[in-house]
């Protein structure tokens, strides 16, 4: 009986620690993703005409993470301003996609990745994913969080979609290529 209680308590602490790590990762990404988007020259040009439209896309199983993302972006960038640029933040389920400037992907189901990647390509939307391994599905940017935080760019998508980032940013980034 003591053994079972020990196993349950170890498993519970592991789950709590995993949730804490995930929340910390989301906090980091919620600060960095919008800032990276502002480096893209076409987006900066669009900001002269309208606010940056950020869309967080989720599925039922990732709704909680999407809510954390939403809250963290609003907390990091109060008054709907990122570096003196206005932004509009929306959160949509995968089946209610709308046109936006950037999409933050909060999905787990790999079968949904193709649908979303196709949408971002057709609409010319800069996409951000939480895991670097998801870049292979056709998303543009992720970040590598270890000792340092390093942006990861999908070379093929950046080239295909004519996204224009400054060379100094690309030179310090990881470049993913199929």
pLDDT in tens, the chain (178 residues): 554 443 444 444 444 344 456 788 899 999 999 999 999 998 888 888 899 999 999 999 999 999 999 999 999 999 999 988 999 999 989 889 999 999 999 988 888 999 999 999 999 999 999 999 999 999 999 998 888 889 999 999 999 999 999 999 999 999 998 7
Run of H or E residues at 52: strand 52-58
Extract the tokens encoding 83.
């570096």
Q: Report the C-alpha gap between 112 and 133 in whole angstroms.
A: 15
State how far the Cα of 148 lies from the Cα of 75, in Å rounded to an integer. Answer: 23
d(CA 125, CA 142): 14
Under DSSP, the state recorded for 153 is E
What DSSP assignment string belongs to 72-127? HHHHHSGGGEETTEEEEEEEEEGGG----SEEEEE---HHHHHHHHHHHHHHT-EE
Residue 7 three-state SS: helix
Give the separation between CA 101 and CA 12, rounded to whole angstroms: 40
Backbone conformation region of residue 173, classed left if phi is above 0, alpha if psi is from -120 to 50, else beta: beta
**Cβ pair 37, 140 in contact under 8 A:** no
Q: What is the residue extent of each domain of the chain?
A: 2-176
CATH superfamily of the domain spanning 2-176: Response regulator (3.40.50.2300)
Q: Which tens digits make up the pLDDT trace of 97-144?
A: 999 999 999 988 888 999 999 999 999 999 999 999 999 999 999 998
Cα 154 from Cα 159, distance rounded (Å): 9
């Amino acid at each position: 009986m003591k053994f079972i209680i020990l196993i349950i308590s170890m498993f519970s602490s592991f789950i709590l620690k995993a949730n804490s790590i995930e929340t910390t990762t989301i906090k980091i990404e919620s600060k960095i993703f919008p800032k990276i988007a502002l480096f893209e020259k076409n987006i900066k040009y669009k900001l002269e005409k309208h606010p940056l439209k950020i869309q967080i896309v989720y599925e039922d199983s990732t709704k909680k993470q999407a809510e954390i993302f939403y809250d963290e972006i609003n907390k990091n960038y109060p008054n709907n301003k990122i570096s003196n640029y206005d932004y509009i933040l929306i959160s949509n389920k995968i089946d209610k996609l709308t046109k936006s400037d950037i999409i933050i992907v909060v999905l787990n189901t790999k079968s949904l990745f193709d649908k979303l990647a196709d949408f971002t390509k057709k609409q010319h939307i800069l996409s951000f994913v939480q895991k670097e391994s998801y870049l292979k599905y056709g998303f543009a940017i992720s970040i590598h969080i270890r000792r340092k935080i390093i942006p990861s760019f999908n070379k093929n998508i950046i080239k295909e979609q004519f996204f224009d980032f400054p060379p100094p940013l690309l030179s310090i980034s990881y470049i993913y290529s199929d």
